[in-house]
Amino acid sequence: MFGWAITFLVIAIIAAALGFGGLAGTAAWAAKIVFIVGLVLFVLSLIFGRRRNG
């Protein structure tokens, strides 16, 4: 999931360097959303993945 966020971030940086402001903004927004979702899923897996009934 974090790989996707990095991919979108790189796309945003390249698009901004080439002057595509709309595409850069969209890619940066997507990178931020994917990063936040990945971070939330990571924290939830840490919390709920450690529970064992035993």
Asked if residue 23 belongs to a domain, the reply is: yes
21 within a domain of the structure (yes/no): yes
Q: Which of 45, 20, 24 is nearest to 10 (CA)?
A: 24
52: in domain: no
Tens digit of pLDDT for each residue in 16-53?
Answer: 898 888 888 888 898 899 999 999 999 998 888 876 66
What's the Cα-to-Cα distance from 26 to each of 11, 18, 44, 46, rounded to whole Å?
10, 15, 27, 30
Q: What is the pLDDT of residue 53?
A: 65
Average pLDDT, the chain: 86
Tokens 């971030």 belong to residue: 9
What whole-number distance in Å separates Cα of residue 35 and Cα of residue 41? 10
* pLDDT recorded at residue 23: 86
pLDDT reported for residue 39: 92
Q: How many domains does the chain have?
A: 1
Cα 43 to Cα 27: distance, rounded to the nearest angstrom: 24
Q: Tell me the residue range of the domain where 27 lies.
A: 2-46
Residue 41 lies in a domain: yes
Tokens 């790189």 belong to 10
